[in-house]
Every structure is written in structure tokens, then in C-alpha cells.
Amino acid sequence: MQYTQLGRTGLLVSRFCLGTMNFGVDTDESDALAIMDRALELGINFFDTADVYGNPLGKGLTEELVGRWLAQGGGRREQIVLATKLFGPMGDLPHRRGLSALHIRRACDASLRRLRTDTIDLYQMHHIDRGMPGPTQPTLFDIPYMDQIITPTHNPTWEEIWQAMEQLVTAGKVVYVGSSNFAAWNIAQANSVAAARNSLGLVSEQSKYNLATRAVELEVVPACRALGLGLVPYSPMDGGLLAGSLEKAGGGRRAKLPPHLVDPRRANLEAYEAFCRQIGRKPAEVALAWLVANPAVTAPIVGPRTMEHLDASMSALEIELSQEELSRLDEIWPGPGDIWPGPGSQAPDAYAW
């Protein structure tokens, strides 16, 4: 296993992060426990979960499963960097969601109970609150609650959020704070406020990022590099699209994924899978190797449903794509900077002189 620093911190994490979203839903508990043990054997020390994981069986279910694995002892807790997330609704009550100071505090305590631990190593905001920063930019939206509609007029400010997070850090309940699904300006704003408060600020960002979904290259990736955030891509296979979806379905004649997902990209997929055959690698391996080759990426999240999926992912670390091969992948899956006529790959060069 290879290791790297998480953003600008001194924390060393494995180049793959074990995602647990399937645990307890698509993967039963006994298999999930075995996969986590196997991840440790393979040297993966970075585990990611979220308080909302477990639907439709029940929110919190996945954290509870991870907690039962940690409770087995044997140094499991000490061997991993444990990351979880908050933001989504955790009940019908209107205050059990979002990024208010109250919800941040209560959500953290609830996650700690489910995970059976005293500390969350990386506490991530699962989404930005729409309309941030708050009172100066009020946003109206409706939250159904029982038989009435509650219409908030303000969203939490970064001062409120950072005060809550700082209290968790001071109490020893959280070590680092990260984000997920943030825009570049959200990241910049959050960390400018944190700097004014002499806080460390965000150290990582989880974004959907893969060969077929590259919008974050315009601004999020440059922001992470400039501000020292580790980029932790989720959905590295784009929901299975990049895992040999045509080959698995019979040489490109039909795909297992829904046609509306495959057909618009069939030409890209045919070229991609032909390229993978040419270099003697599986499409899933190449998709992961492409992410690992990006210097901005800390650790792609691999979310195995089976032990075989986890073991198969490891071979991607053995692949060193040449510059010629990387250029060919850019031709097959153009990034935003390759689509517009600008002189660069990130904003504003991607679309301006």
C-alpha cells in the first residue's frame, strides 16, 4: 500500500479510502466485517462513512455496523483514520438536519455513539447549506413538517459553523474538518473565515470525480491545490460505467446499466474499453490508476460490495500510466478544458484568453 499526506496536514493516509456506503444494505454485515478486516490486511488505513448511510433500511445503520466492527478490538480503532459526515436529515424534526451549531453538535454525539468511539478523525460536511453564508443572503425554502410548512429565512453563517466545529475539536471529539460536494468558492469562503479565527479550516474535499465526470477540474481541483485540501474522489467508476460495462454485457452489444446512462456515452465507452484491452488492463483498474496519477488526488474512495471487488481494486496501484496513455484517456474522456477553446484546463483559462 502507498501512503500520502491528507492535504496540508501531517496525517498520512492510504492511497485508497474504504467507502462503506454499501455496508448493511447491498453488503450484509458478515461480509462487511470481513471486508473491513481485509482492508486492514491490505494496508488501507482510511475509512469513510456517513450518518445517513443505511437507507432504505435506516439512517445510521452503516455507522452502527462500523461501530460493531471497531468494538471487536484488536487495535482496529487505532489502525484507521475514521471519517464520517453530517448534513442530511436524521429525522422528521426540522432542526435535525443542515449545518446549524445545534445540529453539528448533536449529530457528532450521535455518530460517536453509533461508531462506539470517542473521536472522529475527519468530520466532513456532506453538503453546503444552500444560500450560504446566511443573513446577508437570505434563502427561502420549504421544509415539510407534519402538516405545516416551515420556511427558514436565513442559513447558518461560517462563524456559527466554525464555532461549533472548534468546540468539537477542543472537546477532543473531532480532529480534522472536511467538506463534500462544495464549490470552489464555498471552500475559499470557509477557509478565509477559519483563518480569521486562527482555525485550521477545511483539510479535505470529497467530490464526484472520475474519467467521465470531470467538471471539478474547472475550479474545485485548483482550489484544493491552492488552499492545501486533500481531494478525495467518490464514485471513481461513475456508478459502474467505467468498470467494463460494455464488456460485461457481451462485447458491447448491450449494457447491464440502464440504456439512458450508457447510450449517450457508448462511443466513449467503446474507445475506452478498446484502449484498456490494448494496454492489457481492466477498465476498473485504469479508472482508479488515472485518479491516483493526479497529484491533486489524495485517495479515491473504493466502495466494494464484495471481497473480490476490494481485492481487484488493489492492482490499480501497480499501474503507472505513461504521459502518452494519459493523453489518450483525455482524448477519449475530454475534460472541461478540452471541450472549450481556451488555452488551459481550469477556469478561467478553459474558456477565456
- Ordered DSSP codes for 221-253: HHHHHHHTPEEEEE-TTTTTTTTTHHHHTTTTS
Residue 66 lies in a domain: yes
- Nearest residue to 190 via CA among 220, 216, 217, 213: 220
pLDDT for res 351: 83
- Residue 211 exposed, middle or buried by CB count within 10 Å (0-12, 13-18, 19+): buried
pLDDT for res 140: 46
Residue 199 lies in a domain: yes
Q: What CATH number is associated with residue 151?
A: 3.20.20.100
Residue 220 lies in a domain: yes
Instruction: At 34, give phi and psi (nearest 5°).
Output: -65, -40
8-state DSSP, 264: G
Per-position DSSP letters for 297-322, written without gaps between them: BS-PEE--SSHHHHHHHHGGGG----
Residues marked as catalytic: 53
- Nearest residue to 44 via CA among 17, 8, 20: 17
Number of domains present in the structure of the chain: 1
Host domain of residue 314: 3-244+283-321
3-state secondary structure 77-95: HHHCEEEEEECCCCCCCCC
Residue 344 lies in a domain: no
Cα separation, 342 vs 353, whole angstroms? 6
Residue 59 lies in a domain: yes
* Coil vs helix vs strand at 331: helix
Residue 266 lies in a domain: no
Per-position DSSP letters for 19-43, written without gaps between them: E-TTBTTTB-HHHHHHHHHHHHHTT
Outline where DSSP puts E strands in 101-251: 120-125, 143-145, 148-150, 174-180, 202-208, 230-234
Query: Grid cell 455496508 — which residue?
Result: 23
8-state DSSP, 126: S
Instruction: Give the DSSP H/E element, type plus range, for residue 47.
Output: strand 46-48
Q: Could you tell me how many helices (H) and strands (E) the chain has, helices first?
A: 14, 12
pLDDT for res 252: 45
Cα–Cα separations (whole angstroms), residue 244 to 210, 266, 268, 311: 14, 12, 12, 17
Q: What is the pLDDT along the chain (353 residues), one digit of tens a residue?
A: 999 999 999 999 999 999 999 999 999 999 999 999 999 999 999 999 999 999 888 889 999 999 999 999 999 999 999 999 999 888 877 887 889 999 999 999 999 999 999 999 999 999 987 644 444 444 444 555 445 555 555 567 999 999 999 999 999 999 999 999 999 999 999 999 999 999 999 999 999 999 999 999 999 999 999 999 999 999 999 999 999 988 776 544 445 788 888 989 999 999 999 999 999 999 999 999 999 999 999 999 999 999 999 999 999 999 999 999 999 999 999 988 777 767 778 888 888 87
Residue 276 lies in a domain: no
Cα separation, 177 vs 166, whole angstroms? 9
Residue 261 lies in a domain: no
pLDDT for res 26: 93
